Amino acid sequence: MTYEVLGITVLWLFLYGYLIVASIDFGAGFFSYYSKRTNKNHLIDSIIQRYLSPVWEVTNVFLVFFFIGIVGFFPDTAFYYGSALLIPGSVAIILLAIRGSYYAFNTYGAEESSFYSFLYGATGLLIPASLTTVLTISEGGYISIADNGDVSLLYGELFTSGYSWGVVILAVVSVLFISAVFLTYYADRAKDKNALALLRKYALTWAAPSILMGIIVFVLLGERNPEHFSGMMDLWWMFAVSFAAFLGTVYFIWKQKRLGLAVILMMVQYFAAFFAYGASHLPYLLYPHLTIYDGFTNESMAIALVTAFIAGLLLLIPSLYLLMRLFLFDADYVEGRR
């Protein structure tokens, strides 16, 4: 494996990590707000708070890791994406800032505020929408490069394209599905029957839209970028694995048994689809301007980054394990007894 492929694989792995943990968080914010509006908040609020409170900061790090890592491994991405994404990037930052800080204000502050929880719920759906701009423009055709090298984003093209809207909707419904599946499992662990019933309903509600949008976006991409699409067709079996895992998730949620396995299958579903999407996008980071080979950092930096990465993992994996053992797999904590 070349350093380029290793680098992008590591980064993709972190983006996948962010996709899962952030979706749980974003969806939880929305469900928490929605259930407040429908006067069902007493059912799931404590479940959500108990899971999110110790981990919200960690979620954010996955994202920081990705965008700092990509500048380290592929410095040219800073130039292309940085120049093009000033507005969507800034909007995402502002939403993340509002969300993160108002979560803390609401949770650790003096009192619960319905305005704070509205901010938390609304931003949870807007952030995935703004972040997906990056994936959309990576397909090509959304940015222009002037003769003097200035890069700019074609907003008209972005806002009128069916593909970009398809990706936005896919992101939002996936967030709700991922989150509901995980929280169903967590409620089950907490032996909270009422929360379990409500969250299970949410999970089943969002299952069909999420898989349907996945298929629609798949087709739209075929029109947008035929080269990428044929690459995806070569990896058809990964999408088949993804679909089978989806069926498994829905089955176990429906039957209300083996919910831990349902979560794992949901993660497999997104892992397979996300990696098949990413692998078939290679070698392009930004079609057709930038590949992983022309945008790669020098060799000594690559070695240093990989070394730092391994050392970092040796530190992080035991710490994350400790975090999960204390807050995710500790029956007493999950059930709210301490």
For residue 328, the minimal CB distance to another protein (Å) is 12
Strand 284-286 relative to strand 151-153, pairing: unpaired
Closer Cβ to another protein, 240 or 324, answer by number:
324
Q: Residue 75 CB, nearest distance to another protein (Å)?
A: 3
**138 φ/ψ angles, rounded to the nearest 5 degrees:** -65, -15
For another protein, the closer of residues 71 and 204 by Cβ is 71
SS (H, E, C) the chain: CCHHHHHHHHHHHHHHHHHHHHHHHHHHHHHHHHHHHCCCHHHHHHHHHHHHCCCHHHHHHHHHHHHHHHHHHCHHHHHHHHHHCHHHHHHHHHHHHHHHHHHHHHHHCCCCCHHHHHHHHHHHHHHHHHHHHHHHHCCCCCEEECCCCCEEECHHHHHHCHHHHHHHHHHHHHHHHHHHHHHHHHHHHCCCHHHHHHHHHHHHHHHHHHHHHHHHHHHHHHHHCHHHHHHHHHCHHHHHHHHHHHHHHHHHHHHCCCHHHHHHHHHHHHHHHHHHHHHHHCCEEECCCEECCCCCCCHHHHHHHHHHHHHHHHHHHHHHHHHHHHHCCCHHHHCCCC
Shortest spacing between CB 169 and another protein, in angstroms? 24
Contacts with another protein, residue ranges (CB under 8 A) = 53-58, 60-61, 63-65, 67-69, 71-76, 78-83, 85-87, 89-90, 92-94, 96-98, 100-105, 108-111, 150-152, 297-298, 300-301, 304-305, 308-309, 312, 315-316, 319-320, 322-323, 326-327, 338
C-beta closer to another protein: residue 57 or 223: 57
Q: Which is nearer to another protein, 39 or 148 (CB)?
A: 148
Q: How far apart are CA 60 and CA 189, in angstroms?
A: 25
Q: CB of residue 162 vs another protein: minimum separation in angstroms?
A: 25
Pick the closer one to another protein by CB: 61 or 261.
61
Cβ nearer to another protein, comparing 67 with 277: 67
> Shortest approach of another protein to residue 178 CB, angstroms?
21
Nearer to another protein, 247 or 326 (CB): 326
Q: How far is the CB of 157 from another protein (least distance, A)?
A: 17
Nearer to another protein, 219 or 320 (CB): 320
Q: How far is the CB of 133 from another protein (least distance, A)?
A: 12
From the CB of 167, what's the least distance to another protein, in Å? Answer: 20
